[in-house]
Structure 1
Amino acid sequence: MKSPLKVHYFQHIAGEGFGSCLSYLKAGHAEITATEFFALPVEQPLELEALPEINDVDLLIIMGGTMSVNDEANFPWLKVEKRWIRRYLAQGKPAIGLCLGGQLIASALGAAVSRNRHQELGWTSVTKVGNVPEGTFELPEVFSVMQWHSETFELPKGAVHLAENSVCRNQMYQLGSNVLGFQFHPEMTPEVLQMFLENDEELAVFNGIYVQNEKELKQSPEHCFEQGNQLLNRAIDYVLAKTAC
């Protein structure tokens, strides 16, 4: 890991910070900065120049959120964010997108994001896709992760499909050697999950056979979080090792 590594993250809702990778990056003495889109004044349009200089970012991590990437009317900063992401990725720099973040990368690159047939909320199993090209990011054959989404992304042009399950086919992709997009939440910690569960309005919009109830989620044992957290740490190392950072 480059020292000091300059990590920038895009945060879309209050309370959904860096999750598990904060301590991992701090242990590597990374310099961490953030753009908090949820805190931007509504009456003041976001200018592209207000976002970081691309050359000042060594690693971009795009967090989740409750909005749709398609809802630019209510969240006009989405259009500016996607423009910045396109410019950043055009320089071959490393990026990781988590849930909404994975959808934003896909959307920025022209792939569709739309309602999934089923909502997913809770702990689910995800399966590694077979016959991926040699050298792509290595996944366990089956692993358990936290899901929290209603929409899903199509794969960006040129992306490699890495993971799937029966509820939502596109769970993870890789683009080139520098981009990993997740549909699930590998960064989830007990503390972040508790903050998610405190959002009653968000919970109210989820229902169906693939939605775990609040009581079960509150009782999630700590070992449930470990596999996703370790996966995200490896993903960070992978995109950094594969790029000139």
Structure 2
Amino acid sequence: MKPQLKVHYFQHIAGEGFGSCYEYLKSLNAKISATEFFALPVDLALDIEALPHIDDVDLLIIMGGSMSVNDEANFPWLKIEKRWLRRYLAQGKPVIGLCLGGQLIANALGAAVSKSPHQERGWLPVRKTKHVPAHCFHLPEEFQVMQWHAESFEIPKGAIHLAENDGCRNQMYQIGQNVLGFQFHPEITPHALNLFLETDDIDDQYTGKYIQPEKALKLSNKNKFIQGNQILNQAIEYVLQRSSEVVYAKCNKA
């Protein structure tokens, strides 16, 4: 009997939950659990042992958030989260990072996260980079997805740069065949977008030519969400399948 897939996600703020991939994972009969960092007291000295045991996680999904990965002074659990991530990544297990999540993976591996050349907010085009190796995660040549960030990651050492756009060159990367880091939000749903709009003082924080007004975002057509959601489901399938192939190959060699 095939063991049940154990999926864990890290959530950093109340308004950025699991998004579109919840239904897809439930269709795989996944057991889903979460660490809600936003619910922890700010002054809590979180111990790494309070996070899940790595053996109890088959797939990790790291959600977005309004804080900076560099703001460990105000969010002390960031340091513990990054330590746990390094342990998890050392095991070669599958992980997907979304926006802040992609920044956290990169930063945990030594890559810088800093102010983006341009802030991005809204439905913006992203394109696949040139000369991506054939074995890498397959992206459309160009697609439109939700952006919502003021900082961006450097591509971690040893990673493959998968996607870019004019506002922010580093939009997506891959490490091995088990790690995919996104700068954009493929998981966004109409409900999640409404939560973003309700909880973020967007017109005060975001400026520039890659910023779409709140009124336009409130009128987003439901069809706009589909392609990003499909990309995320395919990304989940990719890291799970490729990670299983690696484990199978190692077992056969043994």
Is 2:79 the counterpart of 1:79?
Answer: yes
Give SS of 2:243's match.
Answer: coil
Partner of 1:145 in structure 2? Answer: 145
> What letter corresponds to residue 201 of structure 1 in structure 2?
D
Taking the aligned partners of 1:200 and 1:112, their CA distance within structure 2 comes to 25
| Mapped pair 1:35 → 2:23 | no
Distance (whole Å) between structure 2 residues aligned to residue 188 and residue 135 of structure 1: 27
Residue 42 of structure 1: how far off its partner (Å): 2.2
Aligned-pair CA distance for 1:3 = 4.6
Q: Is the 8 A contact 1:66 1:202 kept in 2?
A: no
- Larger proportion of helix: 2
Percent of aligned positions that are identical? 69
Report the Cα distance in structure 2 between the residues aligned to 1:200 and 1:33, rounded to whole angstroms.
26
Instruction: Find the aligned partners of 1:190 and 1:90 in 2 and give their Cα distance.
Output: 36
Gaps of 5+ in 1: none
After TM superposition, the runs of 4+ consecutive aligned structure 1 residues lying more than 4 A away are none
Distance 2:28 2:108 in 1: 30
1:1-245 counterparts in 2 under 5 A?
3-244=3-244
Q: For the aligned residues, what is the CA RMSD? A: 1.1
Deviations 1:141-163 (A, max 9, x none): 00000000000000111000000
Contact 1:3 1:28 in 2 (8 A): no
Equivalent-residue separation in structure 2 for 1:229 and 1:191 (angstroms) = 13
Shift of 1:203: 4.6
Matched residue type, 2:228? G
- The amino acid across from 2:165 in the alignment is N
Specify the code of the residue in structure 2 equivalent to 1:209: K
Q: Deviations over 1:163-193 (max 9, x none)?
A: 0001100000000000000000000000000
Answer whether contact 1:100 1:183 (CA < 8 A) is retained: yes
Q: Return the letter of the residue paired with 2:178.
A: N
Aligned partners of 2:54 and 2:225: how far apart in 1? 32
SS of the equivalent of 1:198 reads: helix
- C-alpha distance 10-219 of structure 1, shift in aligned 2 (>3 A): same
**TM-score, normalised with respect to structure 2:** 0.94
Distance 1:153 1:181 in 2: 10
Task: For structure 2, list consecutive stretches of 5 or more residues without a partner in the other structure.
Answer: 248-254
Q: Could you report, residue by residue, the CA deviation over 1:92-145 in whole angstroms, capped at 9, with x for unpaired residues?
A: 000000000000000000000000111000000000011111210000000000
